[in-house]
Amino acid sequence: MKYYGNVFRPPSEARSLIIQATIGCAHNDCTFCYMYKDEPFIVRKFEDIVADLEEIREYFPRFERIFIADGDALVLKTEDLLKLLQYIKDNFPNVKRVSAYATAGDINRKSIEELKQLYDMGLEMLYIGFESGDDEILKEIKKGLTVDDYTKAMDKCKDVGFKTSITIIVGLGGREKWEQNAINTAKLITATKPDYVSYLTMRLYQNTPLYRDYKEGKFEMPNAEELLVEMRLFLENVDSEGTIFRSNHASNYVSLGGTLNKDREMLIRQIDETLKNKNFRPEVLRGF
Ligand code: SF4
C-alpha cells in the first residue's frame, strides 16, 4: 500500500483502512490550515487505487471500516466514487462502514440523487469541517463557504441519511472575535444538529498565512484560559439534543466528552474546574 504526502484521518478512524483516492485538498486555501500546503491536489487513477487495494487485500481482507482520503474525497466525480464503492463492496465483504472527509461545497455540488446513490453504495459517514459558524470569520480564513452553504449541505445530508461529524475550532476568531465565534458557531450547530461535534483548539503553524498575520500583529492568539472561556460560552448557547460532543483532540487544553444537551452542565463544570485549578494540558503534549 503506497501513501503520498501527508495523510490525515479523523481520530475515530484510527482502525480503518485508509484509501487515498485523492492527494491533498482541492481548496487548500484556508489561512489556518497546514495540512496539505506543500502538496498539489491530485485525483488518483482508479487503476492505481485498486492496485494498492489488491495488495492489501491479500494480507488484511477483514477490514470493517474504510476511510477515503485525502482532504475532501467527495470532490471526486460521483461515477468515480461509485466505482470505488462498488469495488469495496465486491472485494471487502467485512466492511461495515465507509466514510470520507467532505466539504459543504462538495455536498452542495452534488444532487440529492447522486448523494443517495453514494449512500446506497455504502458511503455512510461524512466528516465536514465547519471550523466556525460566523460568516465574517469564515471569510477571513478563506474557507470559501458561508453559514448558508453549511445549512444547505446539512439539510441534504439529513435527507439522504448520512451520519455527520463536524469539526469546529475554538480560537479561530482570535482575541477580537471570540464571542461571535462561540455564539454563532453554537447557533450553526443548533440549526444543523449533527451526529457528532469535534471541538478542536486553534494552533498556529509556521507555514500558514494566519501565522504570518500573528507575527505581524494582525491576529491575536487567545491564551489557554481565554480559549476555555470561549468553549464555555459555546456550550452555554448550543442546543443540539443527542449530538455526541468531544474535545479530546491533542490540540485541546482540556479533554471533554459527552452528549448534548444532557451533559452540558457536566461539561461546563469540567471547564470551570480546569479554569479554577489551571491544570490545562501542557503545551508539550499539544503536538500531533
Ligand atoms: S481546512 Fe480543509 S478545506 Fe481548508 S485547506 Fe485545510 S483541508 Fe482544505
Dist. CA 8 → ligand 1 center (Å): 11
Is residue 110, in this structure, part of any structural domain at all?
A: yes
DSSP structural state of residue 208: S
What is the band of 269 on the pLDDT scale with cuts at 50, 70, 90?
Answer: very high
Domain that residue 224 falls in = 11-282
pLDDT at residue number 287: 60
pLDDT at residue number 172: 98
Question: pLDDT tens across 17-53, in order?
Answer: 999 999 999 999 999 999 888 888 999 999 999 999 9
Worst-scoring range by mean pLDDT, 59-63, 124-128, 186-190? Answer: 59-63
Angle at CA of residue 203, ends 221 and 37, nearest 5°:
120
Dist. CA 91 → ligand 1 center (Å): 31
pLDDT at residue number 6: 79
Is residue 287, in this structure, part of any structural domain at all?
A: no
Q: Rounded to whole angstroms, how far apart are CA atoms 288 and 271? A: 22
H or E element, residue 198: strand 196-201
Residue nearest to atom 7 of ligand 1 (CA): 71
Q: Rounded to whole angstroms, how far apart are CA atoms 165 and 146? A: 18
pLDDT at residue number 224: 94
When divided into structural domains, the chain yields a total of: 1
Do 207 and 38 meet the contact criterion of CB atoms below 8 Å apart? yes
Dist. CA 138 → ligand 1 center (Å): 12
Cell numbers for 179: 464571542
Among 6, 8, 22, 28, the mutation site with the greatest number of ligand 1 atoms within 8 A of its Cβ is 28
Is residue 288, in this structure, part of any structural domain at all?
A: no
Is residue 139, in this structure, part of any structural domain at all?
A: yes
- pTM for the full predicted model: 0.94
Dist. CA 124 → ligand 1 center (Å): 21
Q: In the chain, what percentage of residues exceed pLDDT 70?
A: 99
Q: In the chain, what percentage of residues exceed pLDDT 90?
A: 81
pLDDT at 160 over 90: yes
Worst-scoring range by mean pLDDT, 45-59, 95-109, 158-172, 194-208? Answer: 45-59
What is the band of 11 on the pLDDT scale with cuts at 50, 70, 90?
Answer: confident
Q: Is the CB of 133 under 6 A from ligand 1?
A: no
Among 31, 33, 132, the mutation site with the greatest number of ligand 1 atoms within 8 A of its Cβ is 33
Q: Are β-strands 22-23 and 42-43 bridged in parallel, bridged antiparallel, or unpaired?
A: antiparallel
CATH (domain of 160): 3.20.20.70
Among 9, 20, 34, 35, the mutation site with the greatest number of ligand 1 atoms within 8 A of its Cβ is 35
* Greater model confidence, 57 or 179: 179
Residue that the C-alpha cell 482520503 belongs to: 69
Angle at CA of residue 164, ends 161 and 170, nearest 5°:
160
* Greater model confidence, 251 or 118: 118
Is residue 3, in this structure, part of any structural domain at all?
A: no
pLDDT at residue number 114: 98
Is residue 228, in this structure, part of any structural domain at all?
A: yes
Is residue 226, in this structure, part of any structural domain at all?
A: yes
Is residue 73, in this structure, part of any structural domain at all?
A: yes
Q: Rounded to whole angstroms, how far apart are CA atoms 151 and 173? A: 20
